[in-house]
A and B are shown apart, each in its own frame.
Chain A
Amino acid sequence: MRNVSIIGIGQTPVAEHWDSGLRDLAAHAARAALDDAGLTNVDSLIVANAFGAAISSQSHLAPLIADFAGLRGVEAYGVEVADGSGGAALRAGYLAVASGAVDTVMVLGVEKSTDMIGSAKVLARNVSLDADDEAMHGATLPALAALIMRRYMFEYEVDLASFEGFSINAHTNGSKYAHAMYRNILKPGAFVKAPMIADPVNLFDSAPDGDGAAAVILTATPTANAIRIAGSGAATDTLTLAERADLLWLQAIETSTNKALAEAGMTRDQINLFELHDSFTIMAALALEAAGFALRGMGWKLAQNGAIKPDGALPISTFGGLKSRGNPVGATGVYQAVEAVMQLRGTAGANQIANARTAMIQSVSGLGSSAFTHILSI
């Protein structure tokens, strides 16, 4: 396998982009990434998207975006693994370059989810659940997350306030970042009083859906400020929550993390920052545990004792994460890659983590049904 590096990044702010469609957002990110890499073309385009068909009545995105991004004629295809699509596309691009089949790949994530509201939006979003055994019976992603969170609170005897540190950290970091969707600072105590979505998951617990596009360009022939993909690992767990033997262990995250670390030849103490999938605070707590950064039942402690803050032992959500920067569902994994590159280049501005040399990014679908973990390094 050849070494693979990221040599270009591009993105739009995550927002309610009511005046831009899928193709506009994607073209903006693609051109920014090409400019950043100093390229005018690539060998291959891989498009990550979750809800184009369900929300924008648009599948078949790869040739559409290739055309509008000025890459007409290029090899292009799509990858869909719900909100893990971005990480999956990054791994596909990584494998394509590492194999020697192509030299440069653009991995582009794009999502447009805010043009639909109310029950239509719930139904569209529910296509990523188990249609027969979950969605059919009225389950939604927040409702299923609430089941896990309630179990966690019961098993480990922690209260709702114990999770507030995740959202406070995310918003504190996002408040310093112009591209973030919600830049308000959460005061201690506000979290437990937020309007309820699916008890105990409330408005300040759950990441907001946003529109956006992000792109990275991978190559086997790095430039001066290239960031190397040192390791890549992926795994699945059950799609159906009820099929899991252990509701409080995200097996796909454990497996993919171990694979990525093994490929990079690294240990956890070398990771300077971790961009995880904080779609709900319970997902952040469980990711820290399954990825081996906290003992079982103790993930919430890292939020409480400040370890996840920018100056802590393991900073997470350094630009706001899904909670504050926003969750552009299928594009989220590519946003994580863009943000990790900014940290490792030292261009993260007010969000810069001091002496960042190695970053772990983890793109997760649903409530851990699949996980794509990458380790980026200077």
Chain B
Amino acid sequence: MFSANGTGKPINFLMQPDRAVGIIGYGAYVPRYRLPGSEIAKLWTGTSAGSPVKEKAVAGPDEDVTTMSIEAARNALARAAIDPQQLRAVWIGSESHPYAVKPTSTIVAESIGTSPSIQAADWEFACKAGTEAVQASIGMIGSGMGLYALSIGMDTAQSRPGDALEYTAASGGAGFILGRAEEAVAIYQGSYSFVTDTPDFWRRSDEAFPSHGERFTGDPAYFHHITSAGRTLMEMMGTTAADYTYVVLHQPNVKFPQRAAGMLGFKEEQYATGLLANEIGNVYSGSCMIGLTAILDEAKAGDRILMLSYGSGAGSDAFDLRVTEKIDAVRGRATTTREYIARRTPIDYATYCRYRGLLKA
């Protein structure tokens, strides 16, 4: 938390803007198709058991990160109830941007009516690209550069057929419009980022599917970074797990966030609301962000939330949020995350291959 910087003065790594910032609108999106883990297991192992999640959400053949981001952005705008022209930034974090060169964010910005007086950019940091954009949004609003900024984490995650990732790599995500605390449904109390050079999972620019370090993705990668970020933020905030009503973590499966939450002292009743991986899989950049939308759909004024993202490569962003009384008026203005999860059309493996473009002629 505090270390000497050579001058004898301690460094405070806690990030807090000059003026308080909060979430004024949030929106989720989950495509309707579901591929049960048993379908994947049946094909590759001959049994229906062994999947780390019940099923995963799959984007339809006419969906990509652009269209899905527009859906989430519209939901966030509906809840924020602001003129889109008041937005000063549209930032989209993803590892499934449809183009290698050409921003997703310009299409989304134009589609929701924010252009042309707008900042737009795509962010990349594996699964924490979306929360990295949130950190930047806090800085932008907190400094007074702009009144509102939209950050989205959205993915149509890739996985090589037959790889362990295939069970969980899913589609979906969420967006957050940040603004001044006075208008917010949840106010950022403080945030922190923890980053090292840890090559646990990667995809080079000319490759279709990611590679990963197998068991190395666990202890030295996910658990080390996410618990370091969470522990450090709580130390700097002077809090313990007992001070939070909810905790939401990046969820590559069900077991990892359960274990990490336990390591930080959290109990099931604190993480259950935001843990959606068993029903939608790992939506990568949108993972803990959509978990947060499910919490905001249920939270009450005064509830405190700890949010911990994780991105391979590797790093974790930690956010401490307090819910305000404005939440009750806002949540009903758009489709809730649970409604999206309940809107479900199961598909088989062959249909999954067609929708995800895995069939090569």
Question: Can you list 8 A-B pairs with a CB-CB distance of less than 8 A?
Answer: A16-B215, A18-B216, A18-B220, A19-B220, A117-B213, A117-B214, A117-B216, A118-B214
C-alpha spacing A16/B220, complex, angstroms: 11
Output the least CB separation between A108 and chain B (Å).
Answer: 27
Q: A359-372 CB contact bits vs B (8 Å, 1 = yes)? A: 00000000000000
Interface of B is mostly: helix
Number of interface residues, chain B, beta carbon within 8 A: 5
Binding site for A on B (CB under 8 A): 213-216, 220
Chain B residues with CB below 8 A from A18, complex form: 216, 220
A16, closest chain B residue (CB): B215
C-alpha spacing A46/B21, complex, angstroms: 64
Which residues from 1 to 24 on chain A have a C-beta closer than 8 Å to any C-beta of chain B?
16, 18-19
B213, closest chain A residue (CB): A117
Output the least CB separation between A144 and chain B (Å).
Answer: 24
C-alpha spacing A304/B220, complex, angstroms: 40
Rank and list the top 6 A-B pairs by shortest CB-CB distance, nearest first: A117-B214, A18-B220, A117-B213, A18-B216, A16-B215, A118-B214
Q: A116-142 CB contact bits vs B (8 Å, 1 = yes)? A: 011000000000000000000000000
Which residues from 103 to 123 on chain A have a C-beta closer than 8 Å to any C-beta of chain B?
117-118
B45, closest chain A residue (CB): A195
C-alpha spacing A18/B214, complex, angstroms: 13
C-alpha spacing A227/B216, complex, angstroms: 40
Chain A residues with CB below 8 A from B215, complex form: 16
Output the least CB separation between A223 and chain B (Å).
Answer: 41
- Most B CB within 10 A of own CB, among A16, A18, A118: A18
Output the least CB separation between B222 and chain A (Å).
Answer: 14
Which residues from 258 to 308 on chain A have a C-beta closer than 8 Å to any C-beta of chain B?
none
C-alpha spacing A19/B219, complex, angstroms: 12
B211, closest chain A residue (CB): A118
C-alpha spacing A117/B212, complex, angstroms: 9
B221, closest chain A residue (CB): A18
Output the least CB separation between A209 and chain B (Å).
Answer: 12
Chain A residues with CB below 8 A from B214, complex form: 117-118
Known: A18-B220, A117-B213. 6 other contacts (CB 8 A): A16-B215, A18-B216, A19-B220, A117-B214, A117-B216, A118-B214
C-alpha spacing A118/B213, complex, angstroms: 9
Output the least CB separation between A19 and chain B (Å).
Answer: 8
Output the least CB separation between A221 and chain B (Å).
Answer: 45
Chain B residues with CB below 8 A from A16, complex form: 215
Chain A residues with CB below 8 A from B213, complex form: 117
Output the least CB separation between B154 and chain A (Å).
Answer: 29
Chain B residues with CB below 8 A from A118, complex form: 214
Chain A residues with CB below 8 A from B220, complex form: 18-19
Output the least CB separation between B325 and chain A (Å).
Answer: 48
Output the least CB separation between B223 and chain A (Å).
Answer: 13
C-alpha spacing A19/B214, complex, angstroms: 16
C-alpha spacing A223/B151, complex, angstroms: 71
C-alpha spacing A212/B220, complex, angstroms: 18
